[in-house]
């Protein structure tokens, strides 16, 4: 069977699996998961064409819309003259890391453990352990120790509540009418 036709036929099932069981789907397509990983939202379009080049360590949290792109399609216009031209590299996300909503991590990047990648960051280079990484292109903003100190000072102290209780607490804290 033609591979494109087969993908078309299996799309609905894969998309549903990626939405309901995003980590299971990521494993099935070849993402190397080393421990417990949490993916919010669907993982269907998260891992590009080479998911086997992406490695996620223990206690990694990935927010909605993040993408991992281990290849560089920019060389395609030059393949007519240089057919062998290709750029790709593995991506590794260290343990205890949060990847923010809409972040893009590009080829050859390693993120050290205990890091936070900000929403919509475009990560084009590697970063060592313990940093807050944000921007386009991403840069080191501060250490996770500095962030944690600030977070403790500003905490609403409701992180341990179950989901519905937390929603009620948010509404009460921010003065929104509770039904």
Q: Which two tokens stand for residue 144?
A: 């996770």
The residues carrying an active-site annotation are 71
Positive or negative torsion for Cα 61, 22, 93, 122? negative
Q: Is 1 helix (H, G, I), strand (E, B) or coil?
A: coil
Closest CA to 93 of 27, 33, 145: 33
Q: In this structure, how many other beta carbons lie within 10 angstroms of the beta carbon of residue 94?
A: 21
Q: Which two tokens stand for residue 47?
A: 């891992």
Q: Which two tokens stand for residue 77?
A: 């216009």
- Rama region for 107: left / alpha / beta (φ>0; ψ in -120 to 50; rest): beta
């Amino acid at each position: 069977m033609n591979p494109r036709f087969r993908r078309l036929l299996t799309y609905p099932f894969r998309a549903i699996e990626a939405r309901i069981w995003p980590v299971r789907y990521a494993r099935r397509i070849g993402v190397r998961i080393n421990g417990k990983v949490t993916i919010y939202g669907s993982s269907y379009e998260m891992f590009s064409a080479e998911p086997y080049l992406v490695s996620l360590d223990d206690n990694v949290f990935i927010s909605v819309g993040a993408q991992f792109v281990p290849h560089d399609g920019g060389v395609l216009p030059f393949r007519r003259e240089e057919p062998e031209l290709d750029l790709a590299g593995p991506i590794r996300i260290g343990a205890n890391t949060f990847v923010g909503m809409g972040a893009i991590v590009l080829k050859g990047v390693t993120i050290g453990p205990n890091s936070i990648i900000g929403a919509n960051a475009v990560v084009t280079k590697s970063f060592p352990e313990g940093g807050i990484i944000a921007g386009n292109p991403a840069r080191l903003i501060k250490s996770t120790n500095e962030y944690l100190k600030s977070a403790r000072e500003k905490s609403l102290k409701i992180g341990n509540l179950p989901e519905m209780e937390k929603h009620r607490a948010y509404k009460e804290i921010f003065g929104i009418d509770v039904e």
